[in-house]
Amino acid sequence: MTLISLLLVILVERITTKSRYWQAEFYSNKYASSINSNKWLNSSSKSWALILFIMLPVLLSHFFIQQFTGGLLELIISTAVLMVCVGCPNIRATYKCFLQAANRGDLQACDLYEQQIKNGAEDNSSFGQNLVWQNYRHYTAVILWFTVFGVAGALLYVLVRDLENYLTKQKSAAAPQAKFLLNLVDWIPVRITAFGFLIIGHFSNAFSTWLSYLPDPAVPAKTLLLQVSKNAEEVEPDDNNCTEEPCTLVRLAKRNVMFLLVVIAILTLAGWIN
């Protein structure tokens, strides 16, 4: 049933534009806003308080799904929740606007769209690399957590990701705690995702980078992923075509999602995944 849900969601997500009610950020931001407005998280709050607010909806969803184990209703509910968790229409729309601006030669508009994708990140990553990072955060990581832990896993990752983003923007005292939790939930998925880049890209070029980062718990997930993707897919610099780099890296990210789905399908046929 996991594979069926994934295939249905990926298919529908690719051919439709989701309304805000089918986007995880709509609900997670409301949840984070209520926590923040009631000042339940402040400088004196312990880490367990943030964990409690994250785990409460996760555990509730888990116990609710358990009531329909193995039935058609479980498949419908799981697919619907996954549909909410996967994807980010705003980023897709920004990317399309960037391509349109590039095609008409509007470099100033291209720069504005690049800043939107970067989302305030203070690093030297390129537009294409940031698209790879956003693809991981809104597709690959959610898929991996859903595959292993079902609906509860997908909700856990999305809540940690969105709460960290919201609290950081609000400059909340709990932002460092949320960032630490995000690093924890990213640790294994980002290494699996980067390994996929090795398989579908230039293995020999990227393997040493991936291996050097593999045991290091301090390396940021974004740094690992972008460095491996940079080495796995060579992009020829072209000053006359600013779409070459982002389009090439987006294709790499999409191939990686398809590769992971193939692996999940094989594991499902082998009986390792339900």
**pLDDT tens-place string over residues 56-98:** 999 999 999 888 777 788 899 999 999 999 998 899 999 999 9
Of the two residues 239 and 231, the one the predictor is more confident about is 231
Share above pLDDT 90 across residues of the chain, in percent, rounded to a whole number:
60
**Cβ within 8 Å of residue 65, ≥6 positions away:** 74, 77, 78, 150, 151, 152
Residue 99 pLDDT more than 80? yes
Round to whole Å and give the CA distance between 62 and 267. 23
pLDDT tens track for 129-156: 999 999 999 999 999 999 999 999 999 9
The rounded distance, in Å, linking the Cα atoms of 108 and 130 is 18
- For residues 36 and 170, the answer to whether their CB atoms sit within 8 Å is yes
Is there a domain that residue 201 lies in? Answer: yes
Mean pLDDT computed over every residue of the chain: 90
The predicted pLDDT at position 203 comes to 92
Predicted local confidence at residue 239, as pLDDT: 64
Q: Residue 23: left if φ>0, alpha if ψ -120 to 50, beta else—which one?
A: beta
Tokens 């999409």 belong to residue: 254
Q: How far is CA 255 from the centre of its chain?
A: 15
Domain count, the chain: 1
Whole-prediction pTM: 0.94
In a domain, 242, yes or no: yes
Flag whether 274 is in a domain: no
pLDDT at 42 over 70: no
Q: Containing domain of residue 182, as a range?
A: 2-269
For the cut 60, the answer to whether the pLDDT of residue 43 exceeds it is: no
